[in-house]
Chains A and B, each alone.
Chain A
Amino acid sequence: MVFKFLRVNTTTGEVKFERVPEKYLALGGRALTSQLVSDEVPPTCDPLGPYNKLVIAPGLLSGTNAPSSGRLSVGGKSPLTGGIKEANAGGIASQKLANLGIKAVILEGKPAGSDWYLLKVTPEGAELLPANDLTGKGTYEVTAICRERYGKKVAVITIGPAGEMLVPAAGVTNNDSDGNSSRYAGRGGLGAVMGAKKIKAVVVDSPTTFDAPVKEPERFKAAARKFAQILQSHPVTGQGLPNYGTNVLMNIINEAGTLPTRNFRFGRFEKASEVSGEKLAEVAVARGGKATHACHPGCVMRCSNVYPMPDGKVCAPIEYETAWCFGPNLEIGDLDVIAKLNYICNDVGLDTIETGCTLGVLMEAGVIPFGDGEGAVKALEEVAGGTPLGRIIGSGSANAGRVYGVTRVPAVKGQGIPAYDPRACKGNGVTYATTPMGADHTAGYAVTANILKVGGYVDPLKPAGQVELSRNLQIATAAIDSTGLCLFVAFAVLDDPEGLPTIVEMLNAQYGLNLTADDALNLGKQVLKVEREFNLKAGFTSADDRLPEFFSLEELPPHNVVFDVKKEDLDQVFNF
């Protein structure tokens, strides 16, 4: 099979397939989106203007039998941070694109008119179709309509009204096998970039899921089987994630005293267990939902869930960070309220973490009282109507903080800080401060060694060792994000010496390469260099690699600690 780029010029309406140039052949996922953005997008361009591009890429292993390998990377210049962005999603689109031999979909240019389009991709080719009838609709409805029109098995990559309105917290979503449009490349406002191109949806129709070309099938099969065993035999990936999903973290982060509560004022929430994964599993099962679920076929860790809501709809899944941002962060101790806020975000097309951080800032400002679930729901419902408050919510935490004169705004590079307080989980603090993505827990998930004791142990309350920990995790993450493997494989890979070699073996068998483990880590380093270079050219300096001031001024109970990793040390993270 010849690998293709699908390039869509939204200015002219031209849709064409290109043979992938040599230099991009060994790249996939984040490595590919970031390299393409770096090569083709001027760093100083307007994120919503004609020079920005939206790049959608499956990972290197996506579309094969490699377990949990169907993650999708979406890249571009972020309207939220002004820097480079790769947002990573589950769902079924990645495997389908890979099965069609498409290494990346590139949306570029900007249409002059006000018409909206849908990009339809099938084994026969690709075309732009009129989509004005889909505008203004939520992602669930758009996905249902497209599945009705183009077949139940299609993947629908889409934006909600928030993306159409070009608000900087808008995400890009796609669906799971059941048609839930809840698998978000949420962070950084890439939904607004897609909206600026006037593409409401990309529908991908592929008859196969696991048949992406593999050079040495027998060798690949053996490696994939071994990797599945590695995942299944590690206690976290084999039992913890399948049993309770990611929200199992709620209680341990609370006990560790690093659960940001009341907009990062406290490190513990008295109702944490009410909104935890254990409770979620209990309620979901009692209501006929599911405590374990795969976001795409072939995932063996199945961390997802299906939570039936009182109104008869389902929210699938509720992830830990979302439960946190609408729960403890807002002092809301009711899973049904959290599910409702989550569902509205999925439907209107907003990143949940950013929206939760923004609601926290609005509560800080007194616009809505803390703990007022009904008030939060009502405010969030304003986004679809495009009211001024709705637009402020869609503009993200940093912007909302400016509008309301709030200084306790948990954001770095304009992007909201997720579910682990950097003062009592300092390794994550280093990651928030320094990753080219803006505050992002996944970019270097130091919770592993800080709290979960996976991949070693570094005391979360002391600055020592955090820079090195974050650096190594950021490198490994950039590599994993390029393979299409779910980042959660890291729990097993960090502990099992066979993990990384087995990933490399899969890559070698698929592409007929001779990579070593070092080559994989070098790929991670290369990705980070490219991303950082882009940000430097976009105008970022070391001043942007810092946490908000209040983290070094206000002590976080119960440990009463501030963020005290030295600035000079933060500046060493990319010294490799």
Chain B
Amino acid sequence: MEVEVRVFSGLEKFVPGAGPGKAILVQVPEGATGRKLIEQLQIPADQVFTMFVNGWHATPEQVLRPGDRVALFPPIGGG
């Protein structure tokens, strides 16, 4: 199945073809979790601090569904 992934704030350096905010389409096995996706993208797990799936905070255990919009962030803050 296919999910839509965006990586930000430095994580793009691990993902060929990614730019901040640029959606990339990634094929993952049915039933793949967030953790599996991060592994597959070869992003070091300790670099991902926040994951959103369709705008909701998600844990690495969350099972992805076809067409999900996934966003990955390192620790960031501001205000």
A237-278: CB near B (< 8 Å → 1, else 0) gives 101110111111101100111000000000110001110111
Residues of B7-45 whose CB lies within 8 A of A: 8-10, 19-22
Distance from A321 Cβ to chain B, minimum over Cβ atoms (Å)? 8
Check if B76 sits within 8 Å of A256, measured CB to CB: no
Distance from A227 Cβ to chain B, minimum over Cβ atoms (Å)? 17
Check if B21 sits within 8 Å of A240, measured CB to CB: no
CA distance A573 to B56 in the complex (A): 26
Residue numbers in B under 8 Å from A441 (CB-CB): 79
Indicate if A154 sits at the interface (CB-CB under 8 A).
Answer: no
Instruction: Give the residue of A241, A278, A279, A558 whose beta carbon is less than 8 angstroms from that of B77.
Output: A241
Check if A487 sits within 8 Å of B75, measured CB to CB: no
CA distance A338 to B34 in the complex (A): 35
Distance from A232 Cβ to chain B, minimum over Cβ atoms (Å)? 14
Surface stretch bound by B, among A60-68, A110-118, A162-170, A442-450? A442-450
Chain B residue with the shortest CB-CB distance to A301? B77
Distance from A8 Cβ to chain B, minimum over Cβ atoms (Å)? 33
- Among A240, A267, A442, A491, which residue has the most Cβ atoms of chain B within 10 A? A240
Check if A453 sits within 8 Å of B10, measured CB to CB: no
Check if A278 sits within 8 Å of B8, measured CB to CB: yes
Indicate if A343 sits at the interface (CB-CB under 8 A).
Answer: no
Residues of A339-395 whose CB lies within 8 A of B: none
Check if A237 sits within 8 Å of B78, measured CB to CB: no
Check if B74 sits within 8 Å of A240, measured CB to CB: yes
Residue numbers in A under 8 Å from B77 (CB-CB): 236-237, 240-241, 248-249, 448, 452, 454, 488, 491
Number of interface residues of A (CB under 8 A): 47
Instruction: Give the residue of B6, B71, B76 whose beta carbon is less than 8 angstroms from that of A240.
Output: B76
Distance from B76 Cβ to chain A, minimum over Cβ atoms (Å)? 4
Check if A240 sits within 8 Å of B9, measured CB to CB: yes
CA distance A247 to B8 in the complex (A): 12
Check if B79 sits within 8 Å of A488, measured CB to CB: yes
Instruction: Give the residue of B22, B75, B79 whose beta carbon is less than 8 angstroms from that of A246.
Output: B79
Indicate if A559 sits at the interface (CB-CB under 8 A).
Answer: yes
Check if B55 sits within 8 Å of A255, measured CB to CB: yes
B positions within 8 Å CB-CB of A = 6, 8-10, 19-22, 49-50, 52, 54-57, 71, 73-79
What are 9 contact pairs spanning A and B, CB under 8 A? Answer: A243-B10, A244-B9, A244-B76, A247-B78, A249-B79, A277-B78, A278-B9, A320-B78, A445-B79
Beyond the given pairs A244-B76, A247-B78, A488-B79, 5 more chain A to chain B contacts, judged by CB atoms under 8 angstroms and listed by A's residue number, are A244-B9, A249-B78, A256-B52, A256-B57, A273-B20
